[in-house]
Copies of this chain bind each other. A is one copy, B any other.
Amino acid sequence: LSNITIAIDAMGGDYGCAVTLPAVVNALQEKPNVQFILVGDRKKIETFFYEKKLEFSERLRIHHAPEIVAMDEPPAQALRFKKNSSMRLAIDLVKEGEADACVSAGNTGALMVTARFVLKTLPGIDRPAICSQWPTMQANKFACILDLGANVDCTPEQLFQFAVMGTVLSAGINGIENPTVALLNIGSEDIKGNEQVKRAAELLEQCSALNYIGFIEGTDIFQAKADVVVCDGFVGNVALKASEGVAKLFRQVLVEEFKNNFLTKMSALMASYVLNRFRKRIDPARYNGATFLGLRGTVIKSHGGTNILGFQTAINQALLQVNNNVPERISAEVERILMAE
């Protein structure tokens, strides 16, 4: 593995430095060949390292950014008026070739709009898409799902491009040969679905370069029925958020039931043991890090409310994608498919 540089939006997310900096310090220990540029308020970052007695490293440098994009700031406003924000400068470093990727837990809309404006989309890609990996019933199998909210309405051609990008990511990151691709729909019968989905299905059926397997329903995502699941950003975002909602509900009910019923030391111990094992497999922090596919550069979006482990996972996603040359591979694949037609 070559030497990789990651730009970190140190101020982004619900907790800012309190999450991003410890995650970077942990990542430094785990990954000897990576260096980080911490983009944010120099004084705050330095104070944090000093107060928390975190060790500074040769593989760290601070890039001062005087502004912060607020979590609820309108994206267009952030793009226009926050040209010296930690988010913007982190993306600029990717554009200028100083960093191989950037990771931010900041405002999703602002990150998307800014990344698209600064980095531009790859040739043959109309719009970037947000993609992340979801756990399934099969312990080591993941579903790449996109778009998760970058585009509320999508043309059939855009859905087709998402399929290409998801295939590249799934093959590269998960090492899957010829990943299966499905369109998210409300029934597996051909007659169901809206016009865009039906027409996207026609495009995918005609493309021999992709391993298209047809429609799947929401339940099927978690049953590992496809390696890549394609949908528009409205549908994908609702599916993502509803899934998160159910996950939270389950965790809460489970904890309540344990608390209500097991008061002895022994049972509390057992409960925490099971809950920990359970969390290890389901914990959203372990699946954190969505990627903006289709850009000329790697941008990873961490969940805004994630913890240190979660931000580390997002950093690891960035490393995986850089090591796999995901943007370059998407370019090559788009060209190959368009040539074949």
Q: List chain A positions with a Cβ less than 8 A from chain B.
A: 72, 74, 109, 135-137, 149, 152-153, 184, 186-187, 189, 191-195, 217-223, 231, 233-235, 237-250, 252-254, 257-258, 260-262, 267, 270-271, 273-274, 277-278, 281-282
**Is B249 touching A222 in the complex (CB atoms < 8 A)?**
yes
Question: Closest chain B residue to A217 by CB distance?
Answer: B241
Asked, given contacts A153-B194, A186-B234, A262-B274, whether A136 binds B249 with beta carbons under 8 Å apart, the answer is yes
**Is A239 touching B237 in the complex (CB atoms < 8 A)?**
no
The residues of B that contact A137 with a CB separation of less than 8 Å are 248-249, 252
**Is B219 touching A244 in the complex (CB atoms < 8 A)?**
yes
CA distance A235 to B236 in the complex (A): 9
A interface majority secondary structure = helix
**Is B194 touching A152 in the complex (CB atoms < 8 A)?**
yes
Asked, given contacts A152-B192, A244-B218, A246-B247, whether A257 binds B277 with beta carbons under 8 Å apart, the answer is yes
CA distance A274 to B260 in the complex (A): 10
* Number of chain copies forming the complex: 2
The residues of B that contact A244 with a CB separation of less than 8 Å are 218-219
The residues of B that contact A282 with a CB separation of less than 8 Å are 249-250, 253
**Is B221 touching A242 in the complex (CB atoms < 8 A)?**
yes
**Is A257 touching B237 in the complex (CB atoms < 8 A)?**
no
Q: Which of B72, B184, B234, B267 contacts A270 (CB 8 A)?
A: B267
Question: Closest chain B residue to A244 by CB distance?
Answer: B219
CA distance A39 to B282 in the complex (A): 44
Asked, given contacts A218-B238, A252-B137, whether A261 binds B277 with beta carbons under 8 Å apart, the answer is yes
Question: Closest chain B residue to A275 by CB distance?
Answer: B257
Asked, given contacts A189-B74, A222-B249, A246-B247, whether A261 binds B274 with beta carbons under 8 Å apart, the answer is yes
Q: Which of B238, B247, B248, B267 contacts A239 (CB 8 A)?
A: B238
**Is B258 touching A281 in the complex (CB atoms < 8 A)?**
no
CA distance A247 to B251 in the complex (A): 11
**Is B249 touching A135 in the complex (CB atoms < 8 A)?**
yes
**Is A238 touching B241 in the complex (CB atoms < 8 A)?**
no
24 A–B contacts from the bound complex (CB under 8 Å): A152-B193, A153-B194, A194-B234, A217-B237, A217-B241, A218-B238, A218-B241, A218-B242, A219-B242, A219-B245, A219-B248, A222-B248, A223-B245, A234-B235, A235-B235, A235-B238, A238-B238, A239-B242, A243-B243, A247-B250, A253-B281, A254-B274, A267-B270, A270-B270
CA distance A257 to B280 in the complex (A): 11
Q: Which of B186, B254, B260, B273 contacts A237 (CB 8 A)?
A: B186
In the A-B complex, the 8 residue pairs with the smallest Cβ-Cβ separation, listed nearest first, are A218-B241, A222-B245, A218-B242, A186-B237, A219-B245, A239-B242, A246-B246, A152-B194
**Is B242 touching A257 in the complex (CB atoms < 8 A)?**
no
Best-surrounded residue of A136, A233, A245 (most CB of chain B within 10 A): A245
The residues of B that contact A281 with a CB separation of less than 8 Å are 253, 257
Best-surrounded residue of A192, A253, A258 (most CB of chain B within 10 A): A253
The residues of B that contact A261 with a CB separation of less than 8 Å are 273-274, 277
